[in-house]
Amino acid sequence: MDQLPTKAPDYGYQKKQYRIKTKKLTYRLSRQVNEFNWFYSCNKEKSANTCILKNVNCEARPGEIMAIVGPSGAGKTTMLEILAGMIPLSRVSGCVLVNEQPMNVTQFRRVSGYVTQEEVLFPLLTVQETLMYSARLRLHGELNRATNRVSELLKELGLEHVANVRIGGESSRGISGGEKRRVSIGLDLVHDPAVLLIDEPTSGLDSASAINVASLLKYMAVKQGKTIVLTIHQPGFRILELFDQILLLSNGTVLHHGSVHLLEHRLRFAGHSIPRNVNVLEFAIEMTEAMVIDTEESEIEDTDIEGEFEHTRKTPVLVNVAETKKYYSNPPIKEVMILVQRFSSNICRTKQLFAARILQSLLAGIVLGTIFMNANNDPTRLKLQTQIGFFAFSLTFLLSSTTEGLPIYLEERKILMRETARGAYRVSSYVISNTLVFLPFLLVVALLYTIPVYWIVGLRREMDGFLYFSLVVWMVVLMSNSFVACFSALAPNFIMGNSLIAGIMGSFFLFSGYFISKDDMPKYWIFMHYLSLFKYPFECFMINEYGGEKGKQRCLEALEGNCFLYGNGFLVQQGLKDSQKWTNIGIMLGFIFGYRFLCFFILWYRSYRTQS
């Protein structure tokens, strides 16, 4: 077991301490959220009868650990979420007081840290990098301040020996489960919060790691005066001794609030004999139905609760207007720079995305080039169809090959929701940084595909034609990437996202004009032709190859030595003009920015809902 530090860091000032109280706190599940959409179900009659918490009174004091315990379904996590401000107080009856004043959620989040049970970390970043990026995003000042804070945290959390080890995940081995838990705690300690709320800090850990984490929390409470509130299911003897207060819940009702020794006395007073080798708390949880509790004081009418709650909320609170606004530590430009660095590190270390994508583009360019080699040398109908088929297949490959970014986007979305809820950065900064990182990466991908395929196939052998072809391919992969980013923000999981993207891409290909011309499409489906991501680059390829001055002299179809179809004539048959060459590029740029804006709007709305 790692040694914990014996001396707290000297911050050079006396930090403000916070005492949290709840009075007659009641929470009813008034509406349900469907995982697959953003709308609430109409079955309110059933959900309105579900009371998650009922008349909860408790107090968490500075320098102490208050553990919220109870059987499964007792309301532990809900109670912690209310204290963390994750559940809006407008949905709660009763009141939550911070230093005897009604909680200001925005201000409280600035001085508190909330660690969820789910560990959402970047597996390819090292421990030090993970904490450093978090510190840079959440602390004011120069880089030196973040560096010093991370050094303190590594020592404080006992992580110095794994500072340069990657976090690791399912496919790559990294640090241990206990060390991951301490990293998760460290992410919410970078801004040195006075209040720390943790959901199941020892869940999934072995006994040694669990004691290590619990001892660390006790150290921070005693030495640094933090107010710590946590939920825990079944703590062992040694962990239980570290808790100053126990809030025992059963079906949302408080059975005990006080020390472990007081709980033991209450059980003995009620006539229960605690077995020698049984944990007091474990025994109390088993005997929740038989415990003697005074409910007369806690059970009051809901109308009385609401009346007192409204009176509390109407009490004037002197809060600076600036403190009620959303608070960020860095300006947008600095946020974008930090996120670009972090995202670049992840991209370069993700072999299946970086190395495999580059290799795929290069091999696809060579293989397709050999298949469609010299498709334009013979002016026959067959060769023209072959070249048009090459354009269509190229677009199918380019637009469908970027869906491998979907699981990465979905994993990042969890981290994005957590970090934006804590005010680490703006959603717009994330979308912009994501776009900036993919610009050069997808340019490399586009060039690795176009360089072999363009010359092997034998397309128009002029440099301006090659550069324009490369530009269109770059626009195509950027469009596809933006499309996937947009729908990854919308889809609830990988299966739904993959099905949605594949279905819509297939419909885009169908309405591109390759299988069925625009004139033959039903009028009620014509809008899909103009929304198709295939249409505009497909037209660009044909204009680039058969348009211009040389297109007027290029014979595409001949019979007995007489040419009866030139390049410009073919474009007229397709309803295309040379002027559309750059107009279509502008439309593709519009799709790129449009899907990015939709991605931003969806993520912003998700983040807004998470916070409110």
Instruction: Please tell me the predicted confidence (pLDDT) of residue 513.
Output: 79
8 Å CB contact between 4 and 158 = yes
Average pLDDT over residues 282-290: 71
Average pLDDT of the residues of the chain: 82
50/44 Cα distance (integer angstroms): 10
52/67 Cα distance (integer angstroms): 18
DSSP helix/strand/coil, 126 = strand
Instruction: Please tell me the predicted confidence (pLDDT) of residue 560.
Output: 66
Average pLDDT over residues 114-121: 86
pLDDT class of 547 with cuts at 50, 70, 90? confident
Residue type at 313? R
Q: Is the pLDDT of residue 478 over 90?
A: yes
Instruction: Please tell me the predicted confidence (pLDDT) of residue 426.
Output: 92
Residue 49: CB atoms within 10 A of its CB come to 9
Q: Is the pLDDT of residue 315 over 50?
A: no
Residue type at 494? F
Of residues 63 and 509, more confidently modeled: 63
Instruction: Please tell me the predicted confidence (pLDDT) of residue 290.
Output: 54
pLDDT class of 378 with cuts at 50, 70, 90? low
Instruction: Please tell me the predicted confidence (pLDDT) of residue 561.
Output: 67
Exposure of 72 by Cβ count < 10 A (0-12 exposed, 13-18 middle, 19+ buried)?
exposed
Instruction: Please tell me the predicted confidence (pLDDT) of residue 44.
Output: 41
Residue 353: CB atoms within 10 A of its CB come to 18
pLDDT tens digits, 423-454 = 889 999 999 999 999 999 999 999 999 999 99
420/425 Cα distance (integer angstroms): 6
Percent of the chain with pLDDT strictly greater than 70: 85
Q: What is the pTM of this model?
A: 0.80
Instruction: Please tell me the predicted confidence (pLDDT) of residue 33.
Output: 44
Q: Is the pLDDT of residue 149 over 60?
A: yes
pLDDT tens digits, 78-110 = 999 999 888 888 888 888 999 999 998 888 888
**Tokens 């269109």 found at:** 472
Average pLDDT over residues 479-485: 93
Instruction: Please tell me the predicted confidence (pLDDT) of residue 305.
Output: 40
8 Å CB contact between 264 and 95 = no
Instruction: Please tell me the predicted confidence (pLDDT) of residue 39.
Output: 40
200/67 Cα distance (integer angstroms): 10
Exposure of 312 by Cβ count < 10 A (0-12 exposed, 13-18 middle, 19+ buried)?
middle
8 Å CB contact between 256 and 248 = yes
Report the first-to-last Cα separation within the chain, whole angstroms.
40
Q: Is the pLDDT of residue 534 over 80?
A: yes
Instruction: Please tell me the predicted confidence (pLDDT) of residue 209.
Output: 83
33/35 Cα distance (integer angstroms): 6
Q: Is the pLDDT of residue 299 over 80?
A: no
437/344 Cα distance (integer angstroms): 6
DSSP helix/strand/coil, 48 = coil
pLDDT class of 294 with cuts at 50, 70, 90? very low
pLDDT class of 323 with cuts at 50, 70, 90? very low
